[in-house]
Chain A
Amino acid sequence: MILDSKIPAGPLAEKWTKHKFNSKLVNPANKRKYEVIVVGTGLAGASAAASLAELGYNVKAFTFHDSPRRAHSIAAQGGINAAKNYQNDGDSVFRLFYDTVKGGDYRAREANVYRLAEVSVKIIDQCVAQGVPFAREYGGLLSNRSFGGAQVSRTFYARGQTGQQLLLGAYSALSRQVANGKVKLYPRSEMMDVVMIDGQARGIVTRNLITGAVETHTAHAVLLCTGGYGNVFFLSTNAMGSNVTAAWRAHKRGAYFANPCFTQIHPTCIPVSGDHQSKLTLMSESLRNDGRVWVPATKETAEKLRKGEIKVNDIKEEDRDYFLERKYPSFGNLVPRDVASRNAKYVCDEGRGVNETGEAVFLDFRDAIKRDTKAIIASKYGNLFDMYKQITGEDPYQVPMMIYPAVHYTMGGLWVDYNLMTTIPGLYALGEANFSDHGANRLGASALMQGLADGYFVIPYTIGDYLAQTLPKPIDANHPEFIKAAEEVKNRISQLLKIKGKKSVDYFHKILGKIMWNECGMARSAEGLKKAKAEIKELKRDFWADVKVLGTNEELNLTLEKAHRVADFIELGELMIDDALSREESCGGHFREEYQTPEGEALRDDENFAYVAAWKYMGENQEEELHKEPLVFENVKLTQRSYK
């Protein structure tokens, strides 16, 4: 199959406007005859469900949470980018576009990224109109800050809880449509499969998490807004429930999975403290605006520190290595996430890590407090400092924070065209669940922007073009395909319950996480990846032979829910490794040890790898097939990223 990205012809800045005009419209009287399923109610899902319902479509919204407001978008801290140029500091749509393409190490589609930058300005207007309480200046206008990887101040924020406020805004719009009867909400319902009729997505199968009932739902189009798959690593900053299941089931039905190995390791997380650890906590990247990252200049000093022979505040200025400021004088502590993470790993690999495990670096506010006063620092980061103290028991006003990189976001996802449609007609993917806008590395404050751009301002236009070509006839809920898909889901459930093995679901998840973190994490090599692939194949066999899932289907059963998710993570893990192996270059978050510059920076190979790797599922235990969508750059010049 030739991947048709459907990027409109014409100059970059006119593509979206022209495309909107050329898209077919659905007659207003007919809109109420169409049903649209939205899976997931985070930023992308809630904004899409609300916007489509406002247009007149009948929307069914599904979430495995007890309420749409719990989606993991809620945990985003730092902010949302928009090319408003309110600060008069040289920002523009083109600059946001350029920064995003460059930050993504030239592995994203120009046209998609430009559209994202273009609609970014409308998102802020929309959110303010909804009553989102963004930070403001004394004159009453909106406040901005600069954020990881950007040299202009284009980030809008609501204290350290921007994701929460944006999600609650989208949730309020969704709630309004629920009240209007245009959205029917299905909480505590997990999507288990996509139903295809004549090659098109026509509904889904769900499991009611309270009763265990396997149900089918019809629709003329299905939107997957189901987030990312960072939990394949077991430990990540994702919520405990975040999973790949919806996307993976769609993949098995024929949706290509793009760039699965592109994962983002966030530099500022609280380091791991023990084996009992269930998740990692992010400390917002905004902290890097005022905090200085350092480790002791020598291994010997670091060792003394780890043994408790010296105290951190006694280490003299000349014995500290502010390694980001030293290596990247122009960007300093604000280099993009992948660069900051990798450098933290390097200094820890050299034996200069600062906590008991040797896997932590300092993020120090001493100088900022001296410069700005404690009160000002507290007003900017108070809640983050409190959170840090709560978790670690240490006071960051007195001693530097300790941080270490952790898996945070996945740039890869279901392959979509310019309309956000996957390779299955009628099946769309929005937000983190798709692959399209961040290339090999996402810039800070861009995830919220993309989720809302897709939901508020892209899908309402592009879905009409598809629906206008579909007859507004009700879908037959008793079609054999629905019955068959529901049977398959029931069989899989009973299969899992029948194994009655000896090992817990978490046992498998933890092993998978270790394999992925060691061999497919911050640095990858052909040798390690090949070893990991064999280990995962073995893990999969062991899982299906020896997993222990207690209880029955007909009840609230958290172990059964998790078993489904982990089974899919294991299969995804193998695909991520295939993808990492086949991409014989380094770019963004994908760092192959064999491909680096003499200074240890990622070495791209634009000649051979300027493409999107889209993988096609070929059947149980078969190798997946690689399809390539070439990336064409007409508006930016490909350069080696340099933040020096």
Chain B
Amino acid sequence: MQLTLKIWRQKNASDKGGFATYPVDHVSKDMSFLEMLDVLNEELTEKGQDPVHFDHDCREGICGSCSLYINGKPHGPLQTTTCQLHMRSFNDGETVTIEPWRAKAFPVLKDLVVDRYAFDRIIQAGGYVSVGTGGVPDANEIPIPKTIADLAMDAAQCIGCGACVAACKNASAMLFTSAKVSQLALLPQGQVERKTRAEKMVAQMDAEGFGACTNTGACEAECPKGISITNIARMNREYFSAVVSSENL
């Protein structure tokens, strides 16, 4: 296979950046998308040119590092992570455009690498159950209906990649935030701090400069882990009931 790659190159956070075009040949259908970029980088290094920088680590679709906007879609044409996308999803002779996530809250650091620390700060605002190590009850003293545990697990599968933000025209982080709010709102362990959690995490999300949700559903359509927008509905309920009955304000 031969492809033409149009890749966003940006030296650092203050550089304006722009597209550069690279032809690649000898692409095998069994390669993953990132392995195709590895091959390009080896060629660039050979020629003495700076390799294309992109975030990646586990290459198993679970760490959430990889974050490429491919042909106008986060993680490319399939509903999976970029590292799990294989070249068999592309056609010989195709031009492939690769950009970083675009969002005010995710500034570009270099080429395709963005800063997603805003997500960590949202979790730090309340995405936990405040229990210290030790002194907790036996695990089976908290029975949880299987259906509820499964729903919590569905939400907990979020890998924090940021595709939801990249997909959203408002760069909203509602899907990410609601996944954690939902997981803990569903479980008995999360009940005690339920209200403060929703309030604080939503406030942090807004402070980071993420946009509002206008229910387009683009986040759900592009989420590599299939996180459902019903979580957003649940977070909205959590948030509204928290602000009207809050003990904290």
* Residues in A lying within 8 Å of B, measured CB to CB: 47, 50-51, 54, 65-72, 74-75, 84, 86, 122, 124-131, 133-142, 158-159, 161, 163-165, 168, 171-173, 175-176, 178-179, 185, 187, 210, 239-241, 273-274, 276-279, 281-282, 387, 390-391, 393, 456-457, 460, 504, 506, 548, 550-551, 555-556, 558-559
Q: Which residues of A contact B60 (CB under 8 A)?
A: 75, 281-282, 387
| Measured CA separation A274–B64 after assembly (Å) | 25
- Beta-carbon contact of B117 and A66 below 8 Å: yes
**B6 at the A/B interface (Cβ < 8 Å)?**
no
Q: Which of B84, B131, B138 contacts A130 (CB 8 A)?
A: B131
Q: Is the interface of B mostly helix, strand, loop or mixed?
A: loop
7 further A-B contacts with Cβ under 8 Å, apart from A72-B57, A173-B128, A456-B134, are A50-B133, A67-B160, A278-B59, A456-B133, A556-B12, A556-B110, A559-B51
Interface residue? B25 (CB, 8 A):
no
Does B35 sit at the interface, judged by CB under 8 A? Answer: yes
How would residues 90 to 130 of chain B score, 1 for a CB under 8 Å from any chain A CB and 0 otherwise?
A: 00000000000000000001100101110110011101111
The 3 closest A-B pairs by CB, nearest first: A140-B143, A172-B128, A129-B136
Contact check, A66 vs B115: say whether CB atoms are below 8 A apart: yes
User: Which A residues are CB-close (under 8 A) to B172?
Assistant: none
Checking B11, B35, B187 against A277 with a beta-carbon cut-off of 8 angstroms, the contacting residue is B35
Cβ contact of B140, chosen from A54, A141, A176, cutoff 8 A = A141
A54 with B58: CB separation less than 8 A = no
B149 x A67 contact (CB < 8 A): no
B70 at the binding interface (Cβ < 8 Å): no
Is A126 a contact partner of B134 (Cβ separation < 8 A)? yes
Contacts of B249 in A (CB 8 A): none
How far is B37's CA from A276's CA once the two chains are assembled, in angstroms?
10
* Cβ contact of B45, chosen from A135, A555, A559, cutoff 8 A: A559
Q: Is there contact, CB below 8 Å, between B120 and A175?
A: yes
Q: Which of B63, B120, B131 contacts A72 (CB 8 A)?
A: B63
Q: Contact partner of A176 among B63, B124, B139, CB < 8 A? A: B124
Contacts of B144 in A (CB 8 A): 136, 140
Contact between A69 and B64, CB atoms less than 8 A apart: yes
Q: How far is the CA of A390 from the CA of B71 in the complex (A)?
A: 20
A239 to B146, CA, bound (A): 32
Tally A-B pairs: CB < 8 A. Answer: 208
The listed residue (A70, A173, A504) touching B42 by CB distance below 8 A is A504
CB of B117 within 8 A of CB of A67, answer yes
Partner of A158, one of B56, B133, B153: B153
Question: By the criterion CB–CB under 8 Å, are A239 and B53 in contact?
Answer: no
Report the Cα distance A548→B64, complex, angstroms: 30
How far does the Cβ of B101 sit from chain A's closest Cβ, in whole Å? 12
In the bound complex, what is the Cα–Cα distance between A558 and B57 (angstroms)? 12
Contact B136 A125 (CB under 8 A): yes
* In the complex, chain B residues whose CB is within 8 Å of the CB of A172: 123, 127-129
B62 contacts A128, CB within 8 Å? no
Contact between B116 and A131 (Cβ–Cβ < 8 Å)? no
A72 nearest CB neighbor, chain B only: B58
Across-interface contacts of A86 in B (CB, < 8 A):
140
Given A125, A173, A273, A456, which contacts B30 in the complex, CB threshold below 8 Å?
A273
**11 A–B contact pairs at CB < 8 A?**
A66-B117, A69-B160, A71-B63, A72-B57, A74-B63, A141-B140, A164-B157, A172-B123, A504-B45, A555-B110, A556-B53
Cβ of B88 and Cβ of A129 under 8 Å apart?
no
Chain B residues near A393 (CB, 8 Å)?
A: 30, 86, 88
**Given A75-B62, A141-B140, A457-B133, are A129 and B51 also a contact pair (CB < 8 Å)?**
no
B34 engages A179 (CB within 8 Å): no
Measured CA separation A482–B119 after assembly (Å): 34
Cβ contact within 8 Å between B120 and A67: yes
B32–A278 CB distance below 8 A: yes
CB of A504, distance to nearest CB on chain B (Å): 5
Taking a contact as CB atoms under 8 Å apart, the answer to whether B128 and A556 are in contact is no
Other-chain contact of A165, B138, B156, B189 (Cβ < 8 Å): B156
A282 to B127, CA, bound (A): 30
Closest B residue to A502 by CB, please name it.
B46
If A70-B57, A171-B123, A176-B130 touch, does A550 touch B51 (CB 8 Å cutoff)?
A: yes
Known: A69-B160, A239-B58, A276-B38. A460 touches B187 (CB 8 A): no
Give A57 to B123 CA distance when docked, in angstroms.
22
Q: Are A176 and B128 within 8 A (Cβ)? A: yes
> B204: nearest residue on chain A (CB-CB)?
A179
Closest chain A residue, CB of each to CB of B154: A133
A168 and B30 form a contact (CB under 8 A): no
Q: Which residues of B contact A67 (CB under 8 A)?
A: 116-117, 119-120, 160
User: CA A455 – CA B226 in complex, angstroms?
Assistant: 32
Residue of A nearest to B116 (CB): A66
Which residues of B lie under 8 Å from residue A165 when comparing CB positions? 153, 156
When distances are taken between beta carbons in the complex, the residues of chain A under 8 Å from B30 are 273-274, 393
Whether A278 pairs with B35 at a CB distance below 8 angstroms is yes
In the assembled complex, B177 has its CB within 8 A of some CB on chain A: no
Chain B contacts of A506 at CB under 8 A?
38, 42
Residue of A nearest to B54 (CB): A558
A241 to B57, Cβ gap below 8 A? yes
- Identify A390's interface contact among B84, B113, B156, CB under 8 A: B84
Q: Which of chain A's residues has its CB closest to B126's CB?
A: A179
A136 to B42, Cβ gap below 8 A?
A: no
Residue of A nearest to B31 (CB): A276
Are the C-beta atoms of A555 and B11 separated by less than 8 Å?
Answer: yes
Q: Which residues of A contact B117 (CB under 8 A)?
A: 66-67, 187
**C-alpha spacing A457/B131, complex, angstroms:** 15
| The residue from A47, A178, A281 contacting B124, defined by CB atoms under 8 A apart | A178
**Chain A, Cβ-Cβ closest to B128:** A172
Distance between Cα atoms of A210 and B107 in the complex (Å): 13
- CB-contacts of B142-160 with A (<8 A): 142-146, 149-150, 152-153, 156-157, 159-160
Shortest C-beta distance, A154 to chain B (Å), equals 13
Contact of B109 among A65, A274, A556 (CB under 8 A): A556
> Whole-angstrom distance between the alpha carbons of A67 and B110 in the complex?
17
Bound form: Cα–Cα A128–B187 in Å? 10
* Residues on the A chain within 8 Å of B160, using CB: 67, 69
A176 to B157, CA, bound (A): 20
Asked if A51 and B35 sit within 8 Å, CB to CB, the answer is no
B31 touching A141, Cβ below 8 Å: no
What is the 8 Å Cβ interface bit string for chain B, positions 1-44, against chain A (1 contact, 0 not)? 00000000001100000000000000010111011101100100
Cα-based distance from A632 to B149 in the complex (angstroms): 44
Query: Which residue of A68, A84, A175, A550 contacts B128 across the interface (Cβ within 8 Å)?
Result: A175
Give CA–CA (A335, B113) in the complex, Å. Answer: 43
Q: Are B50 and A550 in contact (CB under 8 A)?
A: yes
A131 neighbours in B (Cβ, 8 Å): 128-129, 152, 183-184, 187, 189-190
With A72-B63, A504-B42 already in contact, the answer to whether A128 and B86 are too (CB < 8 A) is: no
A48–chain B nearest beta-carbon distance, Å: 10
Q: Does B170 belong to the interface (CB within 8 Å)?
A: no
What chain B residues lie within 8 Å of A140 (beta carbons)? 143-146
**Set of chain B residues within 8 Å of A277, measured between Cβ atoms:** 35
Q: Using an 8 Å CB-CB cutoff, how does the interface string of B159-171 with A read, 1 for contact, 0 for none?
A: 1100000000000
Residues from chain B with a CB closer than 8 A to the CB of A129 are 129, 131, 136-137, 142, 189
Q: Which of B45, B86, B113, B187 has the most CB of A within 10 A?
A: B45
> Which A residues are in CB contact (< 8 Å) with B183?
131, 133
CB distance from B152 to the nearest CB of A (A): 4
Instruction: Tell me the complex Cα distance, A138–B110, Å.
Output: 49
Interface membership of B178, Cβ < 8 A:
no
Q: Are B139 and A142 in contact (CB under 8 A)?
A: yes
B178 to chain A minimum Cβ distance, whole angstroms, is: 15
Contact with A134, one of B42, B84, B137, B149 (Cβ below 8 angstroms) = B149
